[in-house]
Amino acid sequence: MPEHDTIEIGHTRLEIIICGRAKVDTWNYTEEMLQVPFWRLYFPLSDNGIIIYQGQEIPLHPGHIYIIAAETPFACRKTEGILDKLVLHFNLDEDFCSCRDRIFDFPADSILTELGNQLSSAIDKNVRGVNSIMNGFAFCSTAITKLPSELFTSLQSVDSDMLEIRRMIQREPCREYKNSDMARIAGISASIFIRRFTAAFGMAPQHYIQKERVNLVLPGASP
């Protein structure tokens, strides 16, 4: 599955950065190496991986899903043998889910298990195409729905003009955006536009644009 695939579901953007199956004989990394600005999902296919979080060891068990929020400091190691796991790195809109420094562990139900096994098999066989990509999104988005509902916020009350301008910035963050031009698109004055955008997304328009540009420069693949 290619890197950096993005889908919009309603007003929520889910971006999969990496989707792969890792079979490794070395998996020893420190917090400094693993604390990154994107989310991770692990679906273990062997039982010899261990996550260390807040001084506690969390064994990786086949049949479970492990989701690690962005900016979470954790370390990892493995016991003997080859560690085999399905790995996804992904981004969620911060205004949809701004959770940080959390690890979630829950059993995979029959639907998640089937999706995870299908995705693992497709990756093993190097099967690409729309079906494989959508399988990755289905697996990731289904797993996200198992997270606590209080982590998520609703964008239903956000004005459609603000949402459209946000989508425009997300699609082409490197373009030059003047507040006056965006205000003209929304059909309002620049001062009102700045107030409404800031109220909707928690930061001024130019700050949001800078954040989107920074997000383009992501670290390389990590375990």
- DSSP for 195-217, written as a single string: HHHHHHHSS-HHHHHHHHHHHTS
What is the average per-residue pLDDT within 14-37? Answer: 90
121 pLDDT more than 50 = yes
pLDDT of amino acid 123 = 87
* Strand order, beta sheet including 75-78: 56-60, 49-53, 75-78
Residue-wise pLDDT for 141-177, tens only, equals 999 999 988 787 665 567 888 888 988 888 888 899 9
User: Is 123 buried (19+), middle (13-18) or exposed (0-12) by CB count in 10 A?
Assistant: buried
Give the residues across from 16 on adjacent strands.
5, 90
Q: What mean pLDDT value characterizes the chain?
A: 86
Mean pLDDT highest for which of 10-14, 51-55, 95-99, 128-132?
51-55
What is the average per-residue pLDDT within 23-37? Answer: 91
126 pLDDT more than 80 = no
Orientation of helix 160-171 relative to helix 205-215, angle to 10°: 40
pLDDT of amino acid 37 = 86
10 pLDDT more than 60 = no
102 pLDDT more than 70 = yes
C-alpha torsion sign, points 22, 214, 103, 72: positive
15 pLDDT more than 60 = yes
14 pLDDT more than 90 = no
* Contact status, residue 89 vs residue 18, Cβ threshold 8 Å: yes
Q: How sure is the predictor about 219, in pLDDT bands with cuts at 50, 70 and 90? A: very low
Host H or E run for residue 49 = strand 49-53
pLDDT of amino acid 154 = 61
Q: Which domains does the chain have, with CATH numbers?
A: 5-151 (2.60.120.280), 160-215 (1.10.10.60)
* Contact status, residue 35 vs residue 69, Cβ threshold 8 Å: no
Q: How sure is the predictor about 57, in pLDDT bands with cuts at 50, 70 and 90? A: very high
Q: What's the pTM?
A: 0.73
Give the C-alpha separation, 94 to 142, whole Å: 18
Nearest-CA neighbor of 50 among 113, 103, 120? 103
